[in-house]
Chains A and B, each alone.
Chain A
Amino acid sequence: MSENTLLEVQDLKVHFGGKKLFRKAQIVHAVDGVSFSVPKGQTLGIVGESGSGKTTTALAVLRLVPITAGTIRIGDVEISSLEKEDLREARRKVQMVFQDPYSSLDPRRRVGDIVREPLDLMNIGEEEDRDQMVHDLFVQVGLRPELASLFPHQFSGGQRQRIGLARALATKPELIVCDEPVSALDVAVQAQILNLMRKLQEDLGLTYLFISHDLGVVQHLCDHVAVMYLGQIVEQADRISLFSNPQHPYTKALLAAVPKARPRDGTEKRVPLTGDPPSPINLPTGCRFAGRCPVAIEKCHSIAPALKDRGNGHLASCHLLD
């Protein structure tokens, strides 16, 4: 692991389910062998359709779901093996911003208390200084500090997401995991939050793990991008290489599906991706994308391709690239 790496995930597996009393055990392979690393101060975006395992990966990094196999290191701490109090302490370095700003804030508490809670729980600073710290956090995320005595329902969606960010910043984390932080917001508010996130990253040297299905947002914010399909990473590269030179047929289809905000000229007919992803319970043998792949060959249905370097650290798993 190089010195610059903040988060390193190796061969992470998260499987759900197990023995049923009268039925055969059904195992959901939500995340199935995922490896990636994020350099300090940079952003890794994870994209994919719903059910691809991107949120489960994010939750696993925070140890919010049980890990079946694999290791997760943050800095020099291997948090995948920590338990109880050690784990709680280690979580100070990692915080999360959630998708829905309406359900991720306690409606019965004043927002100042919501932002203060991590400070109290983690015993950060002297007790009498904490009100000032909350004040500073509010300023940092662009909210007037006197709003701290209001309740969440008195704020708009964008303001609530700012409160969510302030709460995440309270413990001075190194890594912030953002699960679709702007998808519930209107486009104009979305731009404000994305700009705020970039500014915070520049000012505080934060590292982001950014989960999104919006490729435009990912391209704008992320330095590296991993594309997930059915619990596995099928392509991973730096931002420029991935978007200008996508290798995997799934990535290509995903990019082609994004509507362009310029008038149609009629010449571009996208290759439609038909059907839905297969069930993560009964996984197909071979390449998991083969059933929907427009260019699949016979081999794809029987042998699973490996994630290989296709030059300059651009990883992709597809037989047609071998």
Chain B
Amino acid sequence: MAAILSIKDLVVDFKTRAGNARVLNEISLELESGEILGIVGESGCGKSMTALSIMGLVPSPPGKITNGSISLDGEDLVQASTARMRQVRGGIISMIFQEPMTSLNPVFRVGDQIAECVLLHEDISKADAWARAVEMLTKVGIPEPEIRARAYPHELSGGMRQRVMIAMALSCRPRILIADEPTTALDVTVQAQIFDLLNDLQRETGTAIIMITHDMGAIAELADRVAVMYAGHIIESGKTEDILTNPQHPYTRGLIACVPHLEENPTEDRPYLSEIKGVVPSLTELGKGCAFAPRCPYKTPICEEERPHIEAVDKTHSVACYNVKYVVAV
């Protein structure tokens, strides 16, 4: 399948009082049509900044895309005009956010908010836009959609609001949907409903999804491929199955091992959780070596000297680490 979105060597810098912070450092990603790509990492590693760059929403100043390209079907979005980006946002690429309460306007009915998006992007009458809003609400599984379309956001539960957000994002039939931690604010049962919904919609409409999360469980549920980020770098990427069962980078391994996973048959034996020592480094103080080196249990002298490049370990799996072979052997 051909890539519909391809990011090449993207660099984003932020000017801060403490100096220049390189929040994204030579990020390269490809999104194929109809796939779900997961981006995982801790807070501050650049996941959301990647999404904002694609949407052309990097706050500027202080932020600036200083290098690289984001190409949508051959068109470079970094160079695109403001007017063109307004067409792209919502029309071709749309986004749903973490907080469904703060991302809906509290003083408008949810149906109007969805219809507004359709009216902006399509030559369509108000009545038809409203009809589309109701249709979208039906599609995302909201009961009594005609009545709910007339509701205000505060009248809906968290799960319902996130469904409204998804309905709004999909109302103009975008080709790419970016979901930034769409379920973190929700209960597990509602989270499961949203996962199922995204899965069904993806299968039905063929929309490609970029799913940003810190939860490996969410990745396992949804994503076809995964990119793991750390301090502005992509340090490992590959098929979900490979990353989960055969992680190569010490950080990816730590990220998977440090979460207490739910067992179906727990035993009396409860070892302490494995920890990744230390904290994420400040982006203004990154050395020239591997960003993970100060926390890495396998570091060697070269790790602190030179930053490892991301290299393929097999056809679909790549890692940025000098000690991959060593780590695998352990």
Choose among B187, B261, B262, B263 the residue that contacts A49 (Cβ–Cβ < 8 A).
Answer: B187
A262 near B191 with CB under 8 A, answer no
Q: A207-257: which have CB < 8 Å to B?
A: 213, 215-217, 219-221, 239-240, 243-244, 253-257
B189 near A253 with CB under 8 A, answer yes
Q: How many interface residues does chain B have, given as a range?
A: 35 or more
B272 near A195 with CB under 8 A, answer yes
A263 within 8 A of partner (CB): yes
Residue numbers in B under 8 Å from A220 (CB-CB): 260, 270, 273
Choose among A191, A221, A264 the residue that contacts B258 (Cβ–Cβ < 8 A).
Answer: A191
**Interface pick from A96-104, A105-113, A125-133, A270-278:** A270-278
The answer for the CA separation of A209 and B221 in the assembled complex, in Å, is: 31
Residue numbers in A under 8 Å from B261 (CB-CB): 216, 260-261
B240 near A263 with CB under 8 A, answer yes
B214 near A186 with CB under 8 A, answer yes
Q: B141-184: which have CB < 8 Å to A?
A: 157-160
| Interface-central residue, B214, B220, B275, by most chain A CB under 10 Å | B275
Across chains A and B, which 4 residue pairs bring their CB atoms closest together, nearest first?
A259-B217, A220-B260, A191-B258, A257-B192
A257 near B188 with CB under 8 A, answer yes
A217 near B266 with CB under 8 A, answer no
Choose among B43, B160, B258, B262 the residue that contacts A215 (Cβ–Cβ < 8 A).
Answer: B262
Q: B254-300: which have CB < 8 Å to A?
A: 254-256, 258-268, 270, 272-276, 279-280
B42 within 8 A of partner (CB): yes
B305 within 8 A of partner (CB): no
The answer for the CA separation of A195 and B257 in the assembled complex, in Å, is: 13
Q: A63-94: which have CB < 8 Å to B?
A: none
B227 within 8 A of partner (CB): no
B216 within 8 A of partner (CB): yes
Residue contacts A-B, CB under 8 angstroms, 30 given: A50-B187, A187-B259, A189-B42, A189-B279, A191-B258, A191-B259, A191-B260, A191-B273, A194-B273, A195-B275, A213-B188, A217-B260, A219-B260, A221-B260, A243-B263, A243-B265, A244-B264, A258-B262, A259-B192, A259-B195, A259-B218, A260-B262, A261-B220, A262-B244, A263-B220, A263-B244, A263-B245, A270-B192, A272-B193, A276-B190
